[in-house]
Structure 1
């Protein structure tokens, strides 16, 4: 059953089987039945008219019943119905060879192959139909002198259509199995889509928490401090606290923009995104190792760390040379961001430090580590090293 949003291809593919199974058999049964009745009315049987009409009624009734599903019938009931159909058709084959009634015996063989699950039962019905047809036609021609005896080889072919029935049944089962598999695939795809949506929501929630949560907390803290300082008459210190709150607000806006940019670029390969970040910030970038599949949350953490490290380098050491190294290892991914440092005494130490705190928290949640600090002497500058499991 199709639901909104699901692929409709299996439903379209099911039109042909429905036509074959639900319309073709009733049409064939109805056509043979109507033609047989018309021919018997126009050329009334000279002998055995009652028997012929009775057999015609029986085979038409069973043929009509074969147009409906037999799944609720027991195997013995199905075998009995097909046997009656085959024997009745075989007798009509012998007694009314000049009418369309001869088609019923062939239709009975097809029905046996299509309806009966047991191969032994199928070949038993085919054998019974063939034997009864051969014996009945010989008796009808030699002893009863029924006019219009069919050619002898045609009696040997009445069992052949059972292969058509078997093929139709196998095809029906294959189509049912394919439809079931398609439904399972659609359900699995829907489940994966829901899981991906939930994961994406969680990831966006973490971004909002990391970016806005730290900034708003710092702003609230500074404003509370300003309120206390104003109450104590320390207007100058209160003004400084308000200015720090404004600085945090501006920084938060920038962090929010970078987070949105990272979310938009998340569909690109990680190495490409990091390279673009470096190019857009006049920084060098080197990718080492063999890039492979990286978890979404890990890639996001690397991108956010690269953004924060580049921003801090330009803010605290303007004019310094910045380099990024992204290294892929078997189980780890490493990002190292270094700058050559500002001229002596010119390094800007302002800032809340909340960005690096958020990056450390994010790395810890992912089972990794983040280190930020000055390079070991005699080297000058600052380095940020992120290590995360892939």
Structure 2
């Protein structure tokens, strides 16, 4: 549309502005007409391609050329160049500069007609020249609208980038969660099975088949336990809710620690996410106790307070030879990550006093 209006003004000027020739007054009018055409055609250049000082110089020279064309021509539509250029001033320049230059444009064009400069002063009233700067308002409105559209597009792009970043963060969080669950299921159980198989291999040399059979049975029980843990993992990934007390009791019984759970407070329903993480913390702690303190007694306490749920796992020192094997080193890190995601706190460290001195304690506090 802009190019169409620009070409229409140029064509009208070429057909109506007189005199226009190759000598004398006609040559002057022709030269001014070319300058006005160049100033008007420059409107199509992208705003960011021309430095601000060059824009101000170009529009200022365009205003002078438009006023001079009104004065030099005897007839025609030369005044249209001033009107369209004034509107573009409002679009290209900041408000203060635009108003100032448009006012100068109106005063120059009005002055040319008022003081009867040139042969065509009698065709237009001088007030028409004064109004040459009025279109600057339209240009300023177009500029404001264009800036608003750009701001909206920029905001939309920023929102889209933020949404993509949030989605990526959610994916990474979910990957971390799945990695912790896979670690809990595979690393712990496979480590226990490996220990039992190594024990059975060592016992083969002694010829003690009863102990070999016992180690083999223990490995089989660990395989069954790993299947049960895999089911827990599937529940966790599907956000299914497990009963905390009952599941924790079953976990302790399957690990050989019967009657070691103490529940205080009024048992209440715990959110599925908190339940799954508390069960994983208990599983991690029991596995570590079996690996680093074999034969040591284990006590588990689950406290339901008004503002939090507290899980405490404490084991006594080992009573049998410790054969820790190779661990992943990610157990305690995983526990801390689980509790942090729930806004809670986790403390882990050796027991320094009391009947369990020399053992290890893990305590997870999950806020309600």
Structure 1 position 128 matched with structure 2 position 110: no
One of 261, 268, 273 as aligned partner of 1:286: 268
Could you tell me whether the CA contact under 8 Å between 1:363 and 1:369 is conserved in 2? no
Could you tell me whether the CA contact under 8 Å between 1:96 and 1:102 is conserved in 2? no
Report the Cα offset of residue 253 of structure 1: 0.8
Distance 1:287 1:300, change over 3 A: closer
In 1, Cα distance between the equivalents of 2:194 and 2:25? 107
Could you tell me whether the CA contact under 8 Å between 2:200 and 2:216 is conserved in 1? yes
TM-superposition CA deviations, 1:15-35 (whole Å, max 9, x none): xxxxxxxxx433322221123
Could you tell me whether the CA contact under 8 Å between 1:111 and 1:162 is conserved in 2? yes
In 2, Cα distance between the equivalents of 1:328 and 1:200? 30
Report the Cα offset of residue 362 of structure 1: 6.0
TM-superposition CA deviations, 1:161-212 (whole Å, max 9, x none): 1122222223333333444444443333333333333332222221111122
Q: Which runs of 5+ in 1 are unaligned?
A: 1-23, 267-272, 309-323, 337-357, 371-384
Could you tell me whether the CA contact under 8 Å between 1:262 and 1:303 is conserved in 2? no
Q: How does 1:158-307 map onto structure 2 within 5 Å?
A: 158-265=132-239, 273=241, 286-287=268-269, 300-302=276-278, 304=280
TM-superposition CA deviations, 1:81-127 (whole Å, max 9, x none): 1122122223434555864432211111112212223x443222112
Report the Cα offset of residue 259 of structure 1: 0.9
Aligned residue-pair number: 302
In 1, Cα distance between the equivalents of 2:74 and 2:181? 84
Q: Which runs of 5+ in 2 are unaligned?
A: 250-265, 285-301, 313-329, 340-344, 349-362
TM-superposition CA deviations, 1:123-176 (whole Å, max 9, x none): 221122111111222345xx7553871345433321111122222223333333
Task: Give SS of 1:265's match.
Answer: coil
What is residue 33 of structure 1 aligned with on the other side? 10
Distance 1:94 1:299, change over 3 A: farther
In 1, Cα distance between the equivalents of 2:71 and 2:279? 86
In 2, Cα distance between the equivalents of 1:190 and 1:200? 15
TM-score normalized with structure 2 length = 0.66
In 1, Cα distance between the equivalents of 2:331 and 2:57? 77
Report the Cα offset of residue 57 of structure 1: 0.5
Could you tell me whether the CA contact under 8 Å between 2:184 and 2:280 is conserved in 1? no
What is residue 82 of structure 1 aligned with on the other side? 59
Report the Cα offset of residue 219 of structure 1: 1.0
In 2, Cα distance between the equivalents of 1:120 and 1:364? 60
Q: How does 1:4-15 map onto structure 2 within 5 Å?
A: none
